[in-house]
């Protein structure tokens, strides 16, 4: 038997380890997507994966239908349809006061997921380090590994009481920066905590980026989903950051079209050129007719965005007291559409066994907290709920959670 054959079973069903990339050995499958599969299997209400279960705006769907009808059915320009890039540049100036050249500084990708990995592949070399706040959206870990960089985690600490803010320790953040640091990944408003980084916090991060010559890669996909008068501040709008920031955003969350896969990066020209090259070879381009619909979406009136945020505020304010009543300790989100909860009151071994109980016996799918931490122990007392769902979906989940018997 040759060494290449070692590990093969007679039926050929066991794949030898040497066929696999070492990089892939360093991360597991997405727990968020796995919970959606489990929700379907057990007929559970899916409050795990963050996608709306209500219709997308009619105007946007019409724009997509029209584009298909008008035969916008072949590749768009690799780095994005001109109409969409123009609309992104226009709105970025209106919303953030940041002037962007749509010809040289925007790359449209297949969702912000591809945008993030394309960006990291475009900027990272082996040995580079990437600073990530944790808990973090699970993709950032594998994204860093795939791009050859080493993730370095800095803790966001949960608030003491329900109305407090998640905070980080300035000294711990500083310690994470050194001569190997290539970038910091920042997600504000934040998934999974709902934290909206304040100007003061962003200035602190800005100062470290300048001192250590580090790039900021900011995922701002929840920029319009804000509560309690919080303000979204884009890193690129801060003095000194325009030249060292990649701003990532997309249609998924703002326009309730997570399945369309249209996202984008805004970056200085040289970085954009690198991202465009990676994107071109990864996927060639995002769906052409949906990019035209994206241009229409970005032309929605201002009240569309205030209604979107208000709709999610109502859902948040409906779900949180119900979760508290069912025995969860909630950390009130200031943005995005997730709530992290503390499950200590239920006395389960860990978050995974609790989430399994919820999905199999109670009929509600959530995401175990450990999937947002490098060390699973750090998330063993937490689960995340997504509340981007119809009121009746949330009601049904609350009704089922009543069976938990954790309320006072
Ligand atoms: N961002 C969403 C979440 O955190 C969905 C992510 C995904 O599955 N692509 O649930």
Model pLDDT, residue 6: 42
For ligand 1, say whether the CB of 370 is within 6 Å of any of its atoms.
Answer: no
Q: How much is the CA Rg of the chain, to the nearest whole Å?
A: 22
CA distance 291 to 79: 11
Residue nearest to atom 3 of ligand 1 (CA): 50
Model pLDDT, residue 29: 83
Percentage of the chain modeled with pLDDT above 70? 95
Distance 32 CA to ligand 1 centre (A): 7
Distance 188 CA to ligand 1 centre (A): 15
The atom number, within ligand 1, closest to the CA of 221 reads 1
For ligand 1, say whether the CB of 33 is within 6 Å of any of its atoms.
Answer: yes
All residue ranges of the chain with pLDDT < 70 are 1-17, 406-408
Residue nearest to atom 2 of ligand 1 (CA): 50
For ligand 1, say whether the CB of 49 is within 6 Å of any of its atoms.
Answer: yes
Distance 81 CA to ligand 1 centre (A): 25
The atom number, within ligand 1, closest to the CA of 111 reads 9
Model pLDDT, residue 3: 38
Distance 191 CA to ligand 1 centre (A): 9
For ligand 1, say whether the CB of 50 is within 6 Å of any of its atoms.
Answer: yes
The atom number, within ligand 1, closest to the CA of 192 reads 4
Torsion of CA 95, 96, 102, 105, to 10 degrees: -150
Q: How far is CA 72 from the centre of its chain?
A: 29
The atom number, within ligand 1, closest to the CA of 33 reads 8
Place of tokens 């993730």: 151
Q: Give the model confidence (pLDDT) of 157-167 as tens digits.
A: 999 988 899 99
For 337, residues 6+ apart whose C-beta sits below 8 A from its C-beta are: 50, 222, 225, 253, 312, 315, 316, 386, 387, 388
Model pLDDT, residue 363: 97
Half-sphere exposure of 389 (CA within 13 A, CB side): 23
Q: Give the model confidence (pLDDT) of 76-135 as tens digits.
A: 999 999 999 999 999 999 999 999 999 999 999 999 999 999 999 999 999 999 999 999
Distance 173 CA to ligand 1 centre (A): 26
Model pLDDT, residue 4: 39
Model pLDDT, residue 221: 98
Taking alpha carbons only, the member of 408, 390, 380 closest to residue 323 is 408
């Amino acid at each position: 038997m040759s060494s290449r054959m070692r590990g093969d079973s007679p039926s050929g069903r066991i794949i030898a380890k040497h066929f696999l990339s070492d990089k892939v050995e360093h991360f597991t499958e997405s727990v968020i997507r796995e919970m959606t599969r489990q929700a379907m299997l057990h007929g559970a209400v899916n409050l795990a994966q963050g996608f709306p279960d209500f219709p997308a705006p009619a105007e946007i769907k019409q724009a997509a239908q029209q584009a298909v009808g008008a035969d916008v059915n072949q590749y768009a320009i690799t780095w994005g349809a001109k109409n969409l890039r123009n609309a992104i540049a226009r709105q970025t100036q209106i919303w953030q006061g940041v002037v962007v050249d749509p010809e040289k500084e925007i790359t449209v990708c297949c969702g912000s997921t591809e945008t993030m990995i394309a960006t990291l592949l475009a900027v990272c070399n082996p040995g580079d380090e990437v600073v990530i706040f944790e808990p973090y959206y699970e993709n950032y870990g594998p994204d860093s590994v795939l791009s050859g960089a080493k993730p370095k985690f800095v803790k966001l600490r949960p608030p003491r009481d329900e109305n407090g803010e998640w905070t980080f320790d300035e000294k711990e953040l500083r310690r994470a920066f050194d001569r190997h640091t290539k970038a910091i990944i920042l997600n504000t408003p934040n998934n999974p905590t709902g934290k909206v980084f304040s100007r003061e916090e962003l200035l602190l991060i800005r100062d470290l980026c300048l001192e250590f010559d580090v790039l900021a890669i900011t995922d701002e996909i929840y920029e319009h989903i804000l509560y309690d008068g919080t303000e979204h501040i884009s890193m690129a709008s801060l003095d000194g950051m325009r030249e060292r920031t990649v701003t990532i955003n997309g249609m998924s969350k703002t326009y309730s079209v997570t399945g369309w896969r249209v996202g984008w990066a805004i970056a200085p020209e040289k970085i954009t050129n690198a991202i465009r090259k990676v994107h071109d070879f990864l996927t060639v381009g995002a769906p052409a007719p949906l990019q035209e619909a994206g241009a229409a979406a970005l032309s929605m009136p201002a009240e569309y965005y205030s209604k979107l945020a208000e709709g999610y505020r109502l859902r948040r304010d409906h779900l949180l007291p119900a979760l508290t009543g069912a025995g969860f300790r909630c950390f009130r989100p200031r943005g995005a559409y997730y709530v992290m909860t503390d499950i200590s009151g239920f006395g389960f071994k860990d978050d995974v066994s609790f989430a399994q109980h919820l999905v199999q016996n109670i009929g509600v799918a959530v995401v175990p907290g450990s999937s947002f931490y490098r060390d699973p122990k750090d998330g063993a007392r937490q689960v995340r709920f997504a509340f981007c769902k119809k009121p009746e979906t949330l009601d049904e989940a609350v009704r089922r959670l009543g069976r938990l018997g954790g309320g006072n």
